[in-house]
Amino acid sequence: MSGTSRVILILGAGPGIGQAVARTFASRGYKVAIAARSLKEADSTDDQLNITSDFNNPGDVVNAFTRVKSVLGIPSVVVYNAGAWTPSPADDPFAIPLDGFTRDMTVNATSAFVAAQQAVLGFAELPADAARSFFFTGNILNVTALPRFMSAGAGKSASAHMMMAAAAAYKDRGFKFYYADERKADGTPAFKVDGDEHAKLFWELAEAKTQGPWLQTFVKGVGFKSFDNQYQL
């Protein structure tokens, strides 16, 4: 893989998935940039570029890509790991305020759209041997109704559709798009997700030469596993 394209941008970086993905890719020679609301750019190190970003503002996504490109280069791997959720009563999902629903849709879908859009612009400038992979950290909400999580499910469903459409549209150009959903072995949601398992999956898919199933349901210690309640290309 081209040395000039080994840059990963992680949008939304908590102590679980985001940090695990950063460690894994850094250990394999990638330059790492992490964008999150809690980060201070002054705390950047030689090994990690920090970018202060609030994904309730889609413009911050564009700024993150601009900053990464100017400092490290065009990211060949992009991970959208941001999320928002306004809890609703299980028997009344429309009881949440509009501003909460709007915020959640912005973080879970609109900013993810902007991130994928920016990623495609960058991928088009990279050589064919670059990873050119985009990952959206999802969950079971795109195929299962959990009324208390309605606002999160609406956004995850929208982004799942984006990943499905992108995987079909861009695969002939070598751009890869995935919606990652960790499950238990019986197909039920893994509410306590494993950051290292996500990192391992993302690394394997980034290194692959062609697009795999866009809907990456996977089980800890097993890897990808297809379940009946999902659609594939």
Strand partners, 224: 218
- Crossing angle, helix 17-27 and helix 195-207, to 10 degrees? 50
For the chain, the helix, strand and coil percentages under 3-state DSSP, each to the nearest 5: 45, 20, 40
**203: its two tokens:** 């690394």
Beta-sheet strand order (sheet of 48-52): 48-52, 31-36, 7-11, 77-80, 133-137, 176-183, 215-219, 223-224
Residue 156 known to be catalytic: yes
Q: What is the dihedral of CA 29, 33, 39, 43, to 10 degrees?
A: 60
Strand partners, 9: 33, 78
**174: its two tokens:** 């070598």
Is residue 139 within 8 A of residue 181, CB to CB? The reply is yes
3-state secondary structure labels for all residues of 197-218: HHHHHHHHHHHCCCCCCCEEEE
Amino acid, single-letter form, for residue 221: G
Catalytic residue from among 69, 156, 176, 220: 156
Question: Which amino acids are annotated catalytic?
Answer: 156
